[in-house]
Amino acid sequence: MKSIILSGVVASLLLFTGCSDKAPVVDAKPQVAEKPVQEVKAVETETVSSEESVVVAKSSSELMADQQAKYTSIYFDFDKFNIKASMQDKVTESAKVTNSSASAYGVKLEGNCDEWGSDEYNFALGLKRANSVKKALIAEGVDSSRISMISYGESNPSCMDKTDECWSKNRRVDFSLLP
């Protein structure tokens, strides 16, 4: 009799817990209320020839997109979250961009993985990769309060083929600027 009741309780618990959702894991940082962003026009001068120059008005979103283009992804080895020596120059360059021309923005580090491993494992690995890049940026002089992290696990692939080359493109941390 006890085993029937116990089995019923276990089955009920399993039924009510359901499947886990696949929401991205975000670092636990207090959220600051955002002020509405106004489109601000900035003026840039472009030299067309040695005698004339053209004044181009760019919105703040266009300026942010220009800065965003200066970042390159940091790639990782299979099942690893340490930054490879070949990627260290890209981290240094990203820190320089963050501290100079993109100093008005926050930086979001987006950890990504290939499709190997469980969802939970890949979310954790993506967060570890983002944290490795965060530590490297802080070591290069970037203020830690400007950096946030998120893990997309395997849910944000840049390549969909089933090859080793493609999977290696998905093991990365991307940079995204925040206003």
pLDDT in tens, 32-79: 444 444 444 444 444 445 554 444 556 778 888 888 899 999 999 999
Q: Identify whether 63 is part of a domain.
A: yes
Q: Is residue 12 part of a domain?
A: no
7 domain residue, yes or no: no
Residue at 101 is within a domain = yes
pLDDT classification of 103: cutoffs 50, 70, 90:
confident
Q: How many angstroms separate the CA atoms of 86 and 146, rounded? A: 25
Say what the pLDDT of residue 17 is.
Answer: 56
Domain that holds residue 134: 23-178
Higher pLDDT pick, 70 / 31: 70
Closest Cα partner for 112 from 82, 84, 73? 73
CATH number of the domain that residue 91 is part of: 3.30.1330.60
Residue 123 lies in a domain: yes
Domain assignment present for residue 11? The answer is no
- 132 φ/ψ sector (left φ>0, alpha ψ -120 to 50, else beta): alpha
The answer to whether residue 116 sits within a structural domain is yes
Tell whether 8 is covered by a domain: no
The answer to whether 171 and 113 have CB atoms below 8 angstroms apart is yes
pLDDT, tens digit (0-9, with 9 covering 90-100), for 106-161: 999 999 998 898 999 999 999 999 999 999 999 999 999 999 999 998 898 888 88
Amino acid at 113: C
- The more confident residue out of 35 and 23 is 23
Order the strands of the 25-26 sheet from edge to edge. 25-26, 147-153, 106-112, 172-178, 74-75
Domains: count for the chain: 1
